[in-house]
Homo-oligomer: A and B are copies of this chain.
Amino acid sequence: MSGTNAAGSCERWGQHEIVLKGPADGNPFLDVELSATFTQGERSLNVAGFYDGNGTYRVRFMPLEQGEWKYETRSNRNELHGKTGSVTATAPSKGNHGPVRVANKFHFAYADGTPFKQIGTTCYAWVHQGDELETKTLASLKAAPFNKIRMCVFPKWYSFNQVEPKHYPFDGTPPDQWDFTRFNPAFWQHLEHRIGQLRDMNIEADLILFHPYDTGHWRFDRMDAAADDRYLKYLVARLSSFRNVWWSMANEFDFMKTKVDSDWDRYFQIVCDSDPYDHLRGVHNGKRIYDHNKPWVTHASVQNGSAVDDFGRAVLYRDVYYKPIVFDEVEYEGDIPQRWGDLTPEQMTMCFWHATIGGTYCGHGETYNRPDEILWWSKGGTLHGKSPARLAFLRKVMEEGPANGIDPIDKWYDMKTAGKAGEYYLIYFAKETPTEWLFELPKAELAEGMRFEVDVLDTWEMTVTPVPGEFEIVADHRYRYHAKGLPKVKLPGKPWIALRITRVDGAQQFKVEKRSEMAEEMTA
């Protein structure tokens, strides 16, 4: 495993694996219990082990802090019980910032405090496409702006998706004769390999644990409760030590007709109880949204394209959930006849900007039809769309912006403006084509005499055009501040324009790139 060695040391947020030999007879998946307690000072984590076939048992540990962790195993089998040892967690290597957590209520940061500005994509079944296509997908991701990918554990049987995968999660005979009490280690080893590759590219794996796109073909969508629960525990035992996993209970949970609300609550509970590292947890809806106010939901994972199709909508979800809002499906850039798959690249880019201005996050997907039926949306492969380059531009803007995230400044009144009051503002015009803009900001945190610079961003052409000079503000209105002399900024009269307004005399200096070349480099 990455970051592990036999001598009992690994980097912080890396993986350390205890490998033990034990019984291979009977059904080890059912019969053998194994876990280990890892202790550092007052802190103690209970980590479940798992059977990996051929008499091999593993306990995988992700040290949350540097320094020495002692462990002791417990098992109902003597040969696995009472094994003790220690692992020393060293400093994380470059690029390892730990797992992503909720930060500042509506945002995310890695465990080391580095902000995580979510620019997600979706390739539901990419790990079930065979090595050639999977390798191509990884190469595409390497060149793309995405730092999160939504992906299913189970394979997918749906329009454009009717191929048998190489591996199946359970022992048995395809398509639907399975022993749900026996897992297939080869499937899981393959999945882990891919998650590890994503981790090494700094991409979060938003793992979708259940989905309805099986429709009874393999019957993974309609296992009984005992099988569901065993599956979840096995999955969490194998995967939770990957720092880049997120748990998404489902895609379109409400479209799974054999499950009821209490099932979803139970799945969350099992994942909560089984995961010693408290990875992010969500559940994605079809038509009916889960109650994201429930305490085990870390962030609201929402399918609703309309919420980011215009101003003033995305922000409403913040006020009801008080958690990060991620629009994990806003329809897809593409050209298929289904109306959820025909966004223009301009619309897909606009969705991300609306989400950003609403203080929320967005997910990308692509459904250009191809003769080979390889649509990025589900199979991965090659990105054909024009939005990814624009999302790279947005990501750069976000990463140059406030570390704590972009929030509405005057919610319910000014739908176009977001940022960090008194320091940093983004104003987005979407489809509007203004030719000028009167310098004007909502008053929160403003005081007379503050000075600002303005950049005109073309979110489609990916250019940054600094406006000459500075703007010094005066309080001349009950709710808004203008600049001295009421100067107006000339705008190009095109759609997809945004403004970036940064304080120049404040404590925090934003290091923003002013040259348009930056954007040109990124044009796909």
Contacts and interface: CB of A to CB of B under 8 A. Distances in A.
A305 interface: yes
A339 B479 CA distance: 8
A333 interface: no
Most B CB within 10 A of own CB, among A289, A306, A339, A413? A306
A415 B312 contact: no
Contacts of A413: 306, 339
B289 A320 contact: yes
A293 interface: yes
Quickly give the copy total for this chain: 2
Interface string A312-354: 1100110111000000000000000101000000000000000
B312 A412 contact: no
Interface residues of A, number: 28
B312 A478 contact: no
A307 interface: yes
A289 to B, nearest CB: 5
B289 A291 contact: no
Nearest to A320: B320
Interface of A is mostly: loop
B317 A306 contact: no
A369 interface: no
A310 B310 contact: yes
A339 B293 contact: no
Contacts of A307: 316, 412
A83 interface: no
Interface string A285-311: 001110111000000000011110111
Nearest to A319: B289
Nearest to A415: B306
A386 B337 CA distance: 47
A289 B478 CA distance: 25
Most B CB within 10 A of own CB, among A305, A320, A479? A320
Contacts of A319: 288-289, 304
A152 to B, nearest CB: 23
A299 to B, nearest CB: 14
Given A306-B415, A316-B316, A291 B293 contact: yes
Contact of A337 (B289, B304, B337, B478): B478
Contacts of A310: 310-312
Given A289-B320, A312-B313, 4 more contacts: A304-B412, A306-B312, A317-B320, A339-B479
